[in-house]
């Protein structure tokens, strides 16, 4: 589809959608957001790009096959679940690391929940893009 | 009348107007004689839903609804683009004299 309006709009929208998807991923857990919705928004960015510029260009922009993104994401999510076993907790218990914590300050909190969310993000993004690219090329 | 009361009065009035616009969009989707009418009505309903999310963020005081509005505004045009491609392809199929492609 060679529409100059769509091409010009896509350049702005793809960057905006991808940045917003990362924002949604990082603010999850306590506020609305998280890996699933972030992955959907990120996948939409690539779908818009595929509609405007063609599927080959979108695959080049993604650099790795979308199937691999989903697989690696599944591995990361599994790793986040297994991590709890090393600390003697039940499977999938959230592990927290407070960097620079003092008596009355929590410091910088890092959790295995975020690792799991990143895994979910990659699974959702990879699987949605696999489906969409296959549909686009099939039509 | 305090400013807060006036704000909530305005929000209530705006709710009614947005509802009416969504209902009119529904009517056009149901009645609309051509595909283009329905697509434009769908696009108008998307914009109305963005307005509804913004109003509800004021009404409930929950700023998370603004994110919903942002996502709907960013993605809303995607349905229009996809339906435009569909209409384009349908016109191409109609023009091609080969009947085998049209029967799929």
Average pLDDT over residues A65-80: 93
B29 belongs to a structural domain: yes
Query: What is the model's pLDDT at position A68?
Result: 94
> Which residue ranges of chain B lie beneath pLDDT 70?
97-104
Alpha helices by DSSP H, listed for A27-139, are: 35-53, 55-62, 66-86, 112-138
Provide, as residue numbers in chain A, all residues whose Cβ is less than 8 Å from the Cβ of B70. 20
B101 belongs to a structural domain: no
Q: Does residue B75 sit at the A interface (CB-CB below 8 Å)?
A: yes
Say how far apart CA A127 and CA A70 lie, in whole Å.
6
Query: What is the model's pLDDT at position B99?
Result: 55
This model of the complex carries an ipTM of 0.72
Q: Could you report the per-residue pLDDT of A101-125, keeping only the tens digit for each?
A: 777 777 777 788 888 999 999 999 9
Query: What is the model's pLDDT at position B104?
Result: 46
- Give the predicted TM-score (pTM) of the model: 0.81
What CATH code is carried by the domain that includes residue B80?
Answer: 1.10.287
Provide the 8-state DSSP code for A32.
S
CB B85 to CB A1 under 8 A?
A: yes
CA distance B74 to chain A (A): 7
Say how far apart CA B66 and CA B55 lie, in whole Å.
9
Nearest alpha-carbon partner for A139 in B99, B86, B84 = B86
Give the confidence band of A97 by pLDDT, cuts at 50, 70, 90: confident
Q: Could you report the per-residue pLDDT of A14-53, keeping only the tens digit for each?
A: 999 999 999 989 887 778 888 899 999 999 999 999 988 8
Give the confidence band of A138 by pLDDT, cuts at 50, 70, 90: confident
Query: What is the model's pLDDT at position B31?
Result: 92
B67 belongs to a structural domain: yes
CB-based burial label for B1 (10 Å; 0-12, 13-18, 19+): exposed
Query: What is the model's pLDDT at position A28?
Result: 78
Q: Within 10 A of B22 (CB to CB), how many other CB atoms are there?
A: 16
Provide, as residue numbers in chain B, all residues whose Cβ is less than 8 Å from the Cβ of A33. 67
CA-based end-to-end distance of chain A: 13
Count of structural domains, chain A: 1
User: What residues have CB less than 8 Å from A80, skipping those under 6 apart?
Assistant: A92, A112, A113, A115, A116, A119
B102 belongs to a structural domain: no
Say how far apart CA B36 and CA B39 lie, in whole Å.
5
Q: Provide the residue range defining the domain that includes A32.
A: 4-138
CA distance A12 to chain B (A): 11
Query: What is the model's pLDDT at position A91?
Result: 81
Residue A108, H or E segment = strand A108-111
Say how far apart CA A65 and CA A127 lie, in whole Å.
11
pLDDT over 90, % of chain A: 43
Average pLDDT over residues A88-92: 79
Region for B98 from its dihedrals, namely left if φ exceeds 0, alpha if ψ lies in -120 to 50, beta otherwise: beta
Q: Provide the residue range defining the domain that includes B61.
A: 3-96
Give the confidence band of A3 by pLDDT, cuts at 50, 70, 90: confident
Count of structural domains, chain B: 1
pLDDT over 70, % of chain A: 97
Query: What is the model's pLDDT at position A137?
Result: 86
Query: What is the model's pLDDT at position B1?
Result: 83
User: What residues have CB less than 8 Å from A83, skipping those under 6 apart?
Assistant: A95, A112, A115
Top pLDDT among A58 and B98 is at A58
Q: Does residue B70 sit at the A interface (CB-CB below 8 Å)?
A: yes
User: What residues have CB less than 8 Å from B58, skipping those under 6 apart?
Assistant: B7, B11
């Amino acid at each position: 589809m060679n529409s100059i309006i769509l091409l010009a709009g896509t350049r702005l929208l793809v960057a905006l959608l991808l940045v917003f998807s990362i924002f949604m991923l990082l603010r999850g857990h306590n506020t609305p957001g998280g890996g699933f919705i972030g992955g959907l928004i990120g996948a939409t960015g690539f779908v818009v790009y595929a509609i405007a510029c063609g599927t080959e260009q979108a695959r080049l922009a993604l650099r790795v096959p979308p199937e691999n993104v989903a697989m690696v994401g599944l591995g990361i999510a599994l790793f986040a679940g297994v991590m709890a076993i090393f600390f003697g907790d039940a499977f999938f218990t959230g592990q927290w690391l407070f960097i620079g914590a003092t008596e009355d300050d929590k410091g910088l909190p890092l959790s295995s929940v975020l690792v799991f969310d990143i895994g979910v993000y990659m699974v959702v993004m990879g699987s949605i893009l696999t489906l969409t690219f296959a549909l686009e090329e099939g039509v | 009348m305090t400013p807060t009361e006036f704000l909530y009065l305005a929000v209530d009035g705006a709710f009614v107007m947005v509802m009416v616009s969504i209902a009119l969009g529904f009517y056009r989707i149901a009645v609309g004689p051509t595909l283009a009418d329905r697509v434009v009505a769908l696009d108008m309903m998307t914009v109305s839903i963005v307005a509804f999310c913004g109003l509800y963020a004021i009404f409930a005081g929950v700023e998370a609804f603004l994110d919903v509005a942002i996502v709907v505004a960013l993605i809303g045009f995607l349905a229009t683009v996809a339906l435009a491609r569909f209409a384009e392809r349908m016109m191409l199929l109609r023009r091609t004299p080969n009947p085998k492609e049209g029967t799929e």
